[in-house]
Amino acid sequence: MSNGWNQRLAYPDTTLVLGSSSGIAKVGSADAVSLKVFPNPFEGRTESLLQVSEDGEVNIRLLRVNGSVMSEYSGFLQAGVYMLNISSAEPQVVFLSVATRSGRSLAKMVNKVAGGSDRIVVAPTNMLASRQSVKAVAAGPFGIGDQMRYTAVSMSGGERNLSTPVVQSQTASGLVTLAFVIPTSIEWIDLGLPSGLLWYSVNLGATNPEGYGDYYAWGETSTKSNYNWITYVYSNNSSNQLTKYCNNSSYGCNGFTDNLTTLQSSDDAATVVLGGEARIPTKAEWQELLDNTTAEWTTVNNVYGRKFTASNGNRLFLPAAGYRYGSELYDAGEYGGYWSSSLDESYPGSAWNIGFYSGSQGVSSYGRRSYGFSVRAVRSKN
């Protein structure tokens, strides 16, 4: 990624030796219980892949340094790989403890910012708990600190499916484990729309339809801890000091205009994160969804949101994930705000989005570009 170099690995090759400066290798193994936490350190929330090798009772605890329990899950899990969604309310060192009848695993984690609550949510994945072989397959001239981007690919029914990319900095020599979650073909939903668009079944950054996922400012492709005009990438600290996507000199920095009114692919979070033809829908494409489906306020696994049912019987669920302003999350469980790729040409400090509550929905330009809204991807049929 940093040096424009790439290498393709064919399963079951699972180790990549990267050049002279670090010798990073990936080693796979299947113990009785295995934990992979990413990212770590984290900001308020993180995820962990839990691999369980046999059916049985599992106890999962989030612990403080003094051993007190912050959150706990106990229940029966079948052998497989599970996604743990973890959040911590305060900046602190915490421990993730997992115990089964066959083994125990403990992971140390560091939370750097205040989060919403202390909790653990367990969700299944479509990954199998299996032992993988280890091979050194390639070398490349990388240095410590280079940004590396890894994407796993699977084939199902002749369809090519990409994992959510893993992006991390190369560190000094050592072992690095990469954990991929690969969506299945059902995660692109055909609603029979006139345009033929397919809709992604989860929010960007989520692993299930009800997951809130990540929040993005309009035109930004990475998450952050504070959402305001000072941290916004395309302004000089103010809504009337825009440096990109501005069609009115009154709102441009020093009278700047570029007349760009639709996100370029390099500024489209869906394209950058998912790759391929994935992108954020336009204002018109959101309206097409509303015009050609029946919507209802409902819950999925106790998460509120809107379900859109098409005439072909297929459904799309959008959780009411709220929105981020400053360092806070607002209206989660009550409001859903999802970006379009279309600028509000009447006021370029805003962009069009879909917003909904329990009793209303619609496409509006309520959202200031600096807000952190959810992202739901679309793509054309292949």
How is the beta sheet containing 315-319 ordered, strand by strand? 293-300, 303-310, 315-319
Specify whether 162 is located in the same domain as 230.
no
Mean pLDDT of the chain: 80
Say if residue 107 is in the same domain as residue 222.
no
Q: Are residues 155 and 231 in the same domain?
A: no
pLDDT tens track for 3-39: 555 555 544 444 444 433 322 333 233 345 666 676 7
Domain boundary residue, one of 169, 198, 213: 169
Please tell me the distance from the alpha carbon of residue 203 to that of residue 198, in angstroms, as a whole number.
14
Where in 157-200 does DSSP place strands (E)? Answer: 159-162, 166-169, 188-190, 198-200
Closest CA to 186 of 174, 170, 176, 199: 199
- Strand pairing category for 69-77 and 166-169: unpaired
The pLDDT confidence band at residue 368, using thresholds 50, 70 and 90, is very high
Q: How far is CA 290 from CA 270, 310, 355, 368, in A?
A: 20, 10, 11, 22
Average pLDDT over residues 60-73: 88
144's CB contacts (< 8 A; 6+ apart) are 21, 22, 170, 171, 172
Residue 182 falls within a domain, yes or no? no
Secondary structure in 3-state letters for 305-351: EEEEEECCCCEEEEECCEEEEECEEECCCCCEEEEEEEECCCCCCEE
CA–CA dist 304, 257 (Å, integer): 40
Task: Report H helices in the chain.
Answer: 19-22, 269-274, 283-291
Q: Is residue 83 part of a domain?
A: yes
Residues 245, 133 share a domain:
no
202 lies in the same domain as 278: yes
194 shares its domain with 101: no
Q: How many other CB atoms are there within 10 angstroms of residue 241's CB atom?
A: 18
Fill in the amino acid letter for 353. Answer: N
Nearest to residue 139, comparing CAs of 21, 29, 28, 27? Answer: 21
Q: How many domains does the chain have?
A: 2
Q: What is the model's pLDDT at position 18?
A: 43
pLDDT digits (tens, 9 = 90+) for 326-355: 999 999 999 999 999 999 999 999 999 999
Domain presence at residue 176:
no
Among 100, 134, 169, which residue terminates a domain?
A: 169
What pLDDT shows up at residue 101?
81
- Tokens found for residue 216: 């993005």
Does 60 lie in the same domain as 122?
yes
Last residue of a domain, one of 134, 169, 204: 169
pLDDT at 125: 58
Of 33-47, 175-189, 226-240, 330-344, minimum mean pLDDT range:
175-189
Would you say residue 222 has pLDDT above 90? yes
Residue 245: give the domain boundaries: 187-379
CATH number of the CATH domain containing 52:
2.60.40.2550
**Residue 7's pLDDT is what?**
54
Instruction: Find residue 66's DSSP bridge partners.
Output: none
Weakest-pLDDT range from 144-158, 320-334, 354-368:
144-158
In a shared domain, residues 214 and 133: no
Dist CA 223 CA 217 (whole Å): 8
Phi, psi of 249 (to 5 degrees): -60, -20
Residue 134: pLDDT over 60: no
pLDDT bin (cut points 50, 70, 90) of residue 76 is confident
Q: Which residue has the higher pLDDT, 350 or 149?
A: 350
Q: pLDDT for 96-109, tens place per residue?
A: 888 888 778 888 88
**Are 121 and 262 members of one domain?**
no
State whether 74 and 198 are in the same domain. no
**pLDDT band, residue 123 (cuts 50/70/90):** confident
pLDDT attached to residue 177: 57
Radius of gyration of the chain (CA): 22
In this structure, the answer to whether residues 26 and 100 fall within a common structural domain is yes
Determine, yes or no, domain membership for 181: no
Residue 179 lies in a domain: no
* 8 within domain boundaries: no
Whether the Cβ atoms of residue 310 and residue 193 lie closer than 8 Å to each other: yes
Which pTM does this prediction carry? 0.56
CA gap 329, 225 in Å, rounded? 10
Domain check: are 222 and 324 in the same one? yes
**What are the C-alpha distances in Å from 89 to residues 114, 134, 225, 303?**
5, 38, 14, 20
